[in-house]
Amino acid sequence: MAILITGASSGIGESLAREAARRKHDIVLVARRKDKLEEIADELSKRFNIHAEIVVADLTDQNDIKKVEKRITKNDIDVLINNAGFGSAGPFAELNIENELNEIDLNVRALVQLSYSGVKSMLERDIGTIVNISSLASYMPMTGNAVYGATKAFVTSFSHALREELGETGINVMVVCPGMTSTEFFERSKWKDATKKSPYPNFMWQTSQQVAELIFSGIDKQRTVVVPGLANKFAAAIASSLPGSVTRKITALVAKGRRLR
Ligand SMILES: NC(=O)c1ccc[n+]([C@@H]2O[C@H](COP(=O)([O-])OP(=O)(O)OC[C@H]3O[C@@H](n4cnc5c(N)ncnc54)[C@H](OP(=O)(O)O)[C@@H]3O)[C@@H](O)[C@H]2O)c1
């Protein structure tokens, strides 16, 4: 089995690459940092005797996306994991609009584009799995991370609809909604400083390895949704059952605690 993972140079994507290799799957790793990708691919191919290749690509750049699409249309990818993403933080009017649009390009546009190539290629063989990494943030409007939350709401909604459309085929679409996971994610934006006085208790945090293992278990069981961890499952269930007026107030309070508004 061959698995293509975007955003494989750190965090959840790197852990997914490690878990895939441990399970003896061939891997195609995509991200911008060539040195990190080379290091991971080298280590994993030697250690687990698998084929590991890299595609260096900035998924907000159309020419680079074409490189990844070209790799997908070789028609040997069994699992496509759309994991690359980032999240900006702060009051919308104070953020850099170019960065916000970049976030939409990566979290939404690239994911849709690669899903399209993946589905087309998998339909030819009538087998495959698309895994889209969304977030617990997709369950509620995210005050202080308005664009990020909205991109992830798109990913969750898109994935559910796609799964139903492909219901009669051999292709599964699974969406993953992680909660707080210790990765580079928080260093890439204002989130880290903002979370110095974090309102999130320790038990809510997971490692990227824990999340990756749960994702593979979800792939094996052909799940529709994976919400990693009990605390996150509970939060998702509460957020889904409360009226929007209440979840809006809750996330506004949390944003205040994180000094994001
Ligand atoms: N950490 C959390 O608490 C959390 C919670 C819920 C959901 N998530 C989601 O999980 C996914 C992975 O995030 P993470 O937590 O593992 O964060 P991370 O450690 O920052 O990893 C992000 C990955 O995306 C890649 N990436 C970023 N911009 C890119 C671009 N323009 N083109 C190609 N690749 C790009 C990065 O590699 P390069 O810099 O080398 O390109 C990196 O490999 C994201 O979709 C995130 O929204 C994370």
Instruction: Give residue 85 CA to ligand 1 midpoint distance, Å.
Output: 4
Q: Which residues pair with 3 in a beta bridge?
A: 27, 79
Coil, strand or helix at 127: coil
Class of domain 2-257 as given by CATH: alpha beta
Query: To test ligand 1's pocket by mutation, which of 136, 158, 183, 232 has the most ligand atoms within 8 angstroms of CB?
Result: 183
Assign residue 144 a region (left: φ > 0; alpha: ψ between -120 and 50; beta: otherwise).
left
Number of other residues whose CB lies within 10 A of the CB of residue 78: 16
Which sequence spans correspond to the domains of the chain? 2-257
Q: For the chain, what's the residue count?
A: 261
Per residue in 146-162, pLDDT (tens digit) is: 999 999 999 999 999 99
In this prediction, residue 80 carries a pLDDT of 98
In this prediction, residue 196 carries a pLDDT of 56
- Please identify every stretch of the chain with a pLDDT value under 70, giving residue numbers as ranges: 190-199, 259, 261
Whole-prediction pTM: 0.96
To the query of whether residue 148 is one of the catalytic residues in this protein, the response is yes
In this prediction, residue 197 carries a pLDDT of 55
Round to the nearest angstrom and report the end-to-end CA distance of the chain: 46
The Cα–Cα gap between 186 and 130 comes to 26
In this prediction, residue 206 carries a pLDDT of 96
The Cα–Cα gap between 71 and 80 comes to 11
State the closest ligand 1 atom to the C-alpha of 60, by its place in the atom list counted from 1: 31
Instruction: Give residue 185 CA to ligand 1 midpoint distance, Å.
Output: 6
Q: Which residues pair with 130 in a beta bridge?
A: 80, 173
Place of tokens 């698998």: 50
Q: What is the residue type of 98?
A: E
In this prediction, residue 189 carries a pLDDT of 74
Residues with CB under 6 A from ligand 1: 7-13, 31-33, 36, 57-60, 83-87, 106, 133, 135, 178, 180-181, 183-185, 188, 208
